[in-house]
Amino acid sequence: MRVALIQMAPSADRSANILQAQRLVSEAVKAEKPDLVVLPEIWSCLGGAVAIKQASAELLPTPGDTGGVLYEALRAMAREHNIWVHGGSIGELCGPDTGGKLANTSLVFSPRGEECGRYRKIHLFDVVTPNGDGYRESDNYVPGETIEVVDIDDVPTGLAICYDLRFAELFLALRAANVEMIILPAAFTQQTGEAHWDILVRARAIEAQAWVIACGTTGWHVDGQGNQRQTYGHSMIVSPWGEVVLQLGSEEGWGVADLDMDEVRQVRQRMPVQANRRLI
């Protein structure tokens, strides 16, 4: 399977972000003809005040029905280019029982434009980084409750988002579901990215004995309080043995790698970690 990572530098301007995504996807498809493209986390609106996040989010339709601007933009990418599209994540408007909060949601579309998977981020980023910057994702988002496995071109694929990367139990649950590939869109901060991104992505690939596709945002944006925030980029693809087969830098752009799914079976046969596991 040929996979393209679409590393974006989004802002709080949804229309500009859609154009950026469409341009980068078109460039990657024209140059390398991937089977699957993967966008980063919350690329549709990164930063901005709560009102902007709300205005940039949308209700998601029942699969098969017509959706909003973002939903249809992702569907159109899949149909136009005849590719699988993992839509990174977007803001999903939720019901009134959430107090007006959003969900941080991934969507997967087949080359026919059919929705094949939907996942809400389970672990919300409520932390203070070592430089004192505070983040409270739970102020604006509700957590997901369930894991999601989707069939992408006959490859069982687990879905995760950004901060989920730090919770090995989620990835072990995906491994127990026998996924062969895990896709993780992200918007890692510059500081946490420099310290932990590479280590964690490789560790999750080694633990799950699966391909891990980790696609991040990059560049600067302004949060709702007017603070300048920087995300790390360095999107990467790691093999089931923990080998980095593709890594981008800190610039907006895209990269492509070929994934051999036979490597998953070979690694698992030679080192049957799941069969040897004794603690559940």
Estimate the share of the chain in helix, then strand, then coil, as percent rounded to the nearest 5: 30, 30, 35
Three-state SS at 94: coil
Mean pLDDT, the chain, rounded, equals 96
**What is the tens place of the pLDDT at every residue in 30-43?**
999 999 999 999 99
Candidates 230, 202, 224; CA nearest to 214 is: 202
Domain ranges of the chain: 2-276
**Contacts for 84 with CB less than 8 Å, ≥ 6 apart:** 35, 36, 37, 78, 108, 109, 110, 111, 152, 153
Cα dist from 125 to 48, 162, 193, 194, whole Å: 17, 9, 14, 17
Q: Determine the Cα–Cα distance for residues 218 and 224; give it in Å rounded to an integer.
A: 18
Torsion angle defined by CA atoms of residues 244, 219, 36 and 82, in that order, rounded to the nearest 10 degrees: -160
* Second CATH level (architecture) for the domain 2-276: 4-Layer Sandwich (3.60)
**What is the tens place of the pLDDT at every residue in 209-226?**
999 999 999 999 998 888
Catalytic positions, please? 41, 121, 162
**What is the tens place of the pLDDT at every residue in 223-254?**
888 889 999 999 999 999 999 999 999 999 99
pTM here is 0.97
State residue 98's pLDDT score: 83
Q: Determine the Cα–Cα distance for residues 73 and 246; give it in Å rounded to an integer.
A: 27
